[in-house]
Chain A
């Protein structure tokens, strides 16, 4: 680890180590929480910004590797920064810069001594994510992978007094651990037995197609468990809301992306020789995950659980992008594969940005009003104007609406799926557009969900009497949210710059880039393959709408007049307009329950007719619990019950066991 030549890898390692140091400092100052919130978190933000710049630099610089002094005897820790890890470092640094700024303000109020411990776990969490992105051998990767899970577990169970948090933390760590073991086994398959675990050795190991598929399946489900893919997603809606809001922003925004990074790194880089059947599996799982995630998000009335289910949905969209690129790569169309990969990675960055923004918004609401249940919110736009604006930008971005960044990545995914005619097998060729339709459906459903969230939370009348009027978010918090909102706009309006960077990444991974005609089309027009094929210019969108907005506003004011007066809204002749008449979050989701009834498991308590205080209670449950998870738990219980009979207390039976083992072995030994 020589510092003579200062390359991206040295920068990344030093910055991550500084993060750990900051964590330690936070713990040291545990007695003085103000010091922690005023100095440690902003310093963490500065380190995050530096890491983002390193990532940007790494995407354009040559690959740099280094060896750290620590690690197993014949396997010291190898670290490597190439364009792919550079991109994810940019993602990690950029998003955690905003979140750290927000946390500086968010934790200021709590004031108790747990802030020191919280800052230690927070910064160790960031540092372990940093190391995951630059790890270059299986051992270091696994160590930092599960340290990430461990540190985030302690953050999830920060308020460990509530039984629900503890249960969420337990399920989270259990699924993370099982996922990690399956990743480990996939490395085991790849490593070829001579004890050399560096990623270069894994790349060179050539595998028979059977073992390559086994490695793919293990890696896919291992990383899928961490990303919240469909069958293994149950921990996500429990764990993310349990953590404090900035931490759930970090977990939803960035930690899920390290799983995507792992998947791309192992499948594209280490296993290589991708087959289109793998791509099809990823595609189908992605489509199912995205549709399932958004359908369940629509049913939630807890804001943070809703956002967590949306993370599941967006992971599905990312998997669709990556699945498309694997299908094209498997059937020999590198250019279309590049487009799919760029769409997937671009959506990873977009989701990190707007999901982080939305969770920070939810945190600001929780801090000022103490509310998490949407049915108790309402009319907050008057009390929290800034948060409302930033939340609106985040909501428009996640609903994939044109001028913002959500639309760009979804548009690219559509363009990639329109390359379907290139494929030979007619089944896949017709399946890809149907997956595109599922993507469109889930995008539209997200739009509906965020109209519900924004409408119920911010607009209309207040549904719940608050003890004192909620205060707007503090200066730090607004700065954090502003940074992420600006990022949404920048990524939405100037996609060509980021697509160019991603082109380097795909050059490094698939040895193929977008056609140069697409690159040459300047910063105004985003062109995926050829301008004849399709082009999109977000800046023109924004300019024309703004111009028309200003033009009509002025013309109407000049030609006619701007007079305005206030009065009661139309109440259809009904005298008292109370806030209970407004539609609740569950009410808004009623059409979805009607149309997609079989998907849900609904427990409904309809009050009796003569009930003086009728309360309508309804609980939507995830079918996966009693379809997959409780059968497994029951089977384990059943099995341990039978095995329990082995230990049944009588000494003569124990002697009999040892006698029979002896006889059996003697017979076997002959």
Chain B
């Protein structure tokens, strides 16, 4: 029942906002719909904690500890982003950069995007997972080019072409997966259900599965933004409106990585050896190193944090690739704290960019002086994302590095160098923006920065004191992934 409400609310919201998206109350309506979704997610999570994984709608939807925490996270971040986008969009409309019917497009696509995310997470059918991912791309591509500037058009075009081609590879991977499954489970609907695949993964044909994993990794890897396939990500995140960048960075990348991890579970079972894990580790490490070194070349603040997302997705992929209870636990925790921190940073960045009228970091100075909440939000957010201890990101990096030092010691020098260069680059650029003389003016509408500090508080809490049931949750999920 909760699944119906959970999927129904955003879908209905999308339809309703398509009609009334341009009205004055549209942002409030948008937040209301997201709130509804978040409540449904909470109810579903409570139910999963109470009585374990459930299969609903004759096994079309499957919810286990692994994807339920992602569902809760997605719903929560979508809700807080909608809260943030209320004043943000009003200011954009006020400054005339967005016409009312573009707002309508934005609001309806926002809700549909949430719908596709939740569908991708909840579905048990690998095919539907692919369809949901493709739909996610479709809903966000128009939003990236919302401002109609040449740069945003270019970003949207590249985003669309690269992701579509990537998703096409994933489709072929799914076909091969279906092909291998059909041998064991017989044709008909069940061959694509992840739960059935999970049971018989031992008997699947190894050569086909390894080919399938290659296509799936390249396909969904493009959506995750792994190193050689990452080129669309910085442009898409930098040129789109900030709520979209926050949602893309915070949620879309997680869901894509969720799909890759689901595939890895099957392939690992089929192959027995660590072929999938090694591939993921290789891609993860490559992404961390390349993103770290590209950070120091950035002049646009949103591109800077887009590359930081690539780096963190690389860390997560490396963690999941390494396997073992400790590393997987670190990967899951990193997924949560990264999406919370990165969305908080994008909220602060959004308002900072609006205040100074530009996204070029050299022109933003003295944020703490002119608006302490934005200044401290950005400062604490970037310190959190850089893995400074009191925050949760450090907890996951701590577990990751110590596990890596024990299982894959060869990788630690690269990680050390990359983390150091990333720290120098990001902090070197954020510090002058936050400190110094103020060069920015007041905002027409008061910025809604409660979400920023709520997110950072949660991340701080996760760093210092992990509630036992949350820890139990992660441990079950880690056991599932293995």
Which stretch of A70-78, A371-379, A499-507, A563-571 is in the interface? A70-78
**Is A188 in contact with B463, judged by CB distance below 8 angstroms?**
no
- Which of A69, A640, A651 contacts B293, CB < 8 Å? A640
- In this complex, how many residues of chain B approach chain A with their Cβ under 8 Å: the count is 72
- Which of A69, A157, A182, A193 contacts B406, CB < 8 Å? A193
A185 to B401, CA, bound (A): 7
- Which of B169, B293, B368, B412 contacts A639, CB < 8 Å? B293
Residue of A whose beta carbon sits closest to that of B157: A651
Contact flags B362-393 to A (C-beta < 8 A → 1, else 0): 00000010000000000000010010111000
**Is A182 in contact with B403, judged by CB distance below 8 angstroms?**
no
Question: A143 contacts which chain B residues (CB < 8 A)?
Answer: 389-390, 394, 463-464
- Of residues 434 to 482 in A, which have CB atoms within 8 Å of B's CB atoms? none
A292 interface residue per 8 A CB criterion:
no
- Of residues 609 to 648 in A, which have CB atoms within 8 Å of B's CB atoms? 636-637, 639-641, 643-644, 646-647
Determine which residue in B386, B403, B420 has the highest number of CB atoms from chain A within 10 A of its CB, and name it.
B420
**Is A73 in contact with B475, judged by CB distance below 8 angstroms?**
yes
- Of residues 442 to 474 in B, which have CB atoms within 8 Å of A's CB atoms? 463-466, 468, 470-472, 474
CB distance from B276 to the nearest CB of A (A): 10
**Are A181 and B218 CB-contacts (below 8 A) given A146-B388, A170-B431?**
no
**Is B218 in contact with A188, judged by CB distance below 8 angstroms?**
no
**Are A146 and B389 CB-contacts (below 8 A) given A69-B465, A174-B427, A654-B232?**
yes
Per DSSP, chain A at the interface is: helix
CB distance from A178 to the nearest CB of B (A): 5
Question: A71 contacts which chain B residues (CB < 8 A)?
Answer: 464-466
Question: A138 contacts which chain B residues (CB < 8 A)?
Answer: 398, 402
Question: B54 contacts which chain A residues (CB < 8 A)?
Answer: none
**Is A170 in contact with B427, judged by CB distance below 8 angstroms?**
yes
**Are A643 and B294 CB-contacts (below 8 A) given A72-B395, A195-B326?**
yes
CB distance from A206 to the nearest CB of B (A): 15
A173 to B435, CA, bound (A): 15
A187 to B406, CA, bound (A): 10
Which stretch of A98-106, A323-331, A659-667 is in the interface? A659-667
- Of residues 65 to 90 in A, which have CB atoms within 8 Å of B's CB atoms? 69-74
**Is B465 in contact with A640, judged by CB distance below 8 angstroms?**
no
**Is B162 in contact with A142, judged by CB distance below 8 angstroms?**
no
Contact flags A212-252 to B (C-beta < 8 A → 1, else 0): 00000000000000000000000000000000000000000
CB distance from B331 to the nearest CB of A (A): 14
**Are A658 and B436 CB-contacts (below 8 A) given A138-B402, A166-B431, A188-B412?**
no
A161 to B398, CA, bound (A): 34
CB distance from B254 to the nearest CB of A (A): 21
A174 to B431, CA, bound (A): 12
A122 interface residue per 8 A CB criterion:
no
Question: A553 contacts which chain B residues (CB < 8 A)?
Answer: none
- Which of A145, A161, A189, A662 contacts B436, CB < 8 Å? A161
- Of residues 142 to 196 in A, which have CB atoms within 8 Å of B's CB atoms? 142-147, 150, 157, 160-161, 163, 166, 169-170, 173-174, 177-178, 180-182, 184-185, 187-189, 191-193, 195
A523 interface residue per 8 A CB criterion:
no
- Which of B229, B399, B412, B424 contacts A174, CB < 8 Å? B424
Residue of B whose beta carbon sits closest to that of A193: B406
**Is B296 in contact with A640, judged by CB distance below 8 angstroms?**
yes
A144 to B464, CA, bound (A): 10
**Are A665 and B402 CB-contacts (below 8 A) given A73-B466, A74-B471, A170-B431?**
no
Residue of A whose beta carbon sits closest to that of B412: A185
B358 interface residue per 8 A CB criterion:
no
**Is A181 in contact with B401, judged by CB distance below 8 angstroms?**
yes
A541 interface residue per 8 A CB criterion:
no
**Is A187 in contact with B402, judged by CB distance below 8 angstroms?**
yes
**Are A188 and B401 CB-contacts (below 8 A) given A73-B468, A146-B389?**
yes
A187 to B394, CA, bound (A): 15
Count A-B pairs with CB separation below 8 Å. Answer: 173
B482 interface residue per 8 A CB criterion:
no
B428 interface residue per 8 A CB criterion:
yes
A359 interface residue per 8 A CB criterion:
no
B305 interface residue per 8 A CB criterion:
no
Contact flags A124-154 to B (C-beta < 8 A → 1, else 0): 0000000000000011001111110010000
Contact flags B140-169 to A (C-beta < 8 A → 1, else 0): 000000000000000001100110011001
Question: B436 contacts which chain A residues (CB < 8 A)?
Answer: 160-161, 163, 166
Question: A147 contacts which chain B residues (CB < 8 A)?
Answer: 389-390
**Is B423 in contact with A174, judged by CB distance below 8 angstroms?**
yes
Question: B389 contacts which chain A residues (CB < 8 A)?
Answer: 142-147, 150, 180
B200 interface residue per 8 A CB criterion:
no
**Is A188 in contact with B402, judged by CB distance below 8 angstroms?**
yes
Contact flags A33-75 to B (C-beta < 8 A → 1, else 0): 0000000000000000000000000000000000001111110
Contact flags B408-433 to A (C-beta < 8 A → 1, else 0): 01001000100111011001100110
**Is A197 in contact with B431, judged by CB distance below 8 angstroms?**
no
A658 to B210, CA, bound (A): 18
**Are A658 and B166 CB-contacts (below 8 A) given A192-B406, A646-B290, A647-B231?**
yes
B234 interface residue per 8 A CB criterion:
yes
A338 to B436, CA, bound (A): 50
Residue of B whose beta carbon sits closest to that of A173: B427
**Is B471 in contact with A73, judged by CB distance below 8 angstroms?**
yes
- Of residues 326 to 342 in B, which have CB atoms within 8 Å of A's CB atoms? 326
A72 to B465, CA, bound (A): 6
A572 interface residue per 8 A CB criterion:
no
Question: B16 contacts which chain A residues (CB < 8 A)?
Answer: none
B437 interface residue per 8 A CB criterion:
yes
Apart from A144-B389, A177-B388, A658-B222: 11 A-B pairs, beta carbons within 8 A: A69-B465, A72-B399, A73-B474, A139-B395, A157-B431, A166-B436, A181-B419, A188-B412, A640-B294, A658-B228, A658-B229
**5 interchain pairs, CB-CB under 8 A:** A143-B389, A146-B388, A178-B420, A184-B402, A640-B294
User: Which residues of B are at the interface with A, using a C-beta cutoff of 8 A?
Assistant: 157-158, 161-162, 165-166, 169, 210-211, 213-215, 217-218, 222, 228-229, 231-232, 234, 275, 279, 290, 293-297, 325-326, 368, 383, 386, 388-390, 394-395, 398-399, 401-407, 409, 412, 416, 419-421, 423-424, 427-428, 431-432, 435-437, 463-466, 468, 470-472, 474-475
Q: Ordered nearest first, which 3 A-B pairs have the shortest CB separation?
A: A73-B471, A188-B405, A160-B435
